[in-house]
Amino acid sequence: MRASVIQISVDEGESVESRRRRAAGLVREQAGADLVVLPELWTTGAFAYDDFGREAEPLEGPTYEAMAKAASDAGVWLHAGSIVERDPDGPLYNTSLVFSPSGDLAAAYRKIHRFGFDKGEAVLMGAGAELVTVRLPQTTLGLSTCYDLRFPELFRGLVDAGAETLVVSAGWPERRRAHWTLLARARAVENQSFVVACGTAGTHAGVPQAGHSIVIDPWGEVLAEAGAGEEVLTVEFDPDKVAATREQFPALKDRMLGLQPPLRP
Ligand SMILES: NC(=O)CCC(=O)C(=O)O
């Protein structure tokens, strides 16, 4: 299986419209890949909170249109990263879109863990409530977005739902790059799954981005890692390695579910 991870640069100097055109062009160039992945909120930038309201779009808005067409032109499964979704009956959401090679929407995932504590995304957006997996011919994807990476129970839930390849679409800052790499590898090892983690390059809202998109196998080995700048990371991997790893080292079978808190303080 061949995956292309598009670590696009998100900088204020470029308009959203221009970046949308460029992203669509980069997706088209990946014809022949099985899976193409874009990062979180690459239209506005994950930290450009002041732009969220202005750039919010309906689910089937301009980014949806451009990405559906790019997926079908390239004939690839496309995780199109996330958009600021304006729900007509509710708040804004940080919503990831996955398209099939015919350009049909296969899944939408609303980010569950919002970043910012008591500001930014955490107050500007609503929280998703549903885990989302997507069945591809070669593997089952489990979807997550950026800050979700810090919450292992989300990934365990995805594995319980059949995920074998955990996709992390992110806009992770350079300041915490060590956490990004460490957590991505931990999620791969503890879930005996591939991790395909796509971040952004560039600087927006004064926040330099980490880049360093990374693809990790179920044993925790790094198959490919990007640098800091804009880059398309291409990697081949064997999806059967998930079943083989889980069989050879069946740690997932030793889970002790329903542990109780101590009886005495
Ligand atoms: N966009 C995000 O979710 C940022 C997450 C982050 O910076 C962190 O977890 O650290």
* DSSP bridge partners of 231: 7
| 194-198 β-sheet, strand order | 133-135, 140-145, 165-169, 194-198, 214-216, 222-225
Residue 34 pLDDT: 98
Answer whether 176 contacts ligand 1 (Cβ < 6 A): yes
In the set 55, 57, 111, 164, the catalytic residue is 111
Let me know if 146 is a catalytic residue: yes
Complex-level ipTM: 0.99
User: Are the CB atoms for 111 and 96 separated by under 8 Å?
Assistant: yes
Supply 227's token pair.
């640098």
Residue 216 pLDDT: 98
Residue 248 pLDDT: 98
Answer whether 207 contacts ligand 1 (Cβ < 6 A): no
141 Cα: distance to centroid of ligand 1 (angstroms):
21
**The residue to which tokens 């007509």 are assigned:** 88
First to last CA, the chain: 51
Q: What is the 3-state secondary structure (H, E, C) of 19-69?
A: HHHHHHHHHHCCECECEEECCCCCCCCCCCHHHHHHHCECCCCHHHHHHHH
**The residue to which tokens 């980014």 are assigned:** 63
The values of phi and psi at residue 112, to 5°, are -85, -45
User: In this structure, how many other beta carbons lie within 10 angstroms of the beta carbon of residue 66?
Assistant: 18
Q: What is the pTM of this model?
A: 0.98
Residue 263 pLDDT: 86
Residue 102 pLDDT: 98
Distances, alpha carbon 255 to alpha carbons 40, 153, 163, 191, 218, in Å: 32, 13, 17, 11, 17
Residue 176 pLDDT: 98
67-108 per-position pLDDT tens digit: 999 999 999 999 999 999 999 988 999 999 999 999 999 999
Answer whether 173 contacts ligand 1 (Cβ < 6 A): yes
Residue 90 pLDDT: 84
> Which domains are assigned to the chain?
2-253 (3.60.110.10)
Ranges in the chain, pLDDT < 70: 265
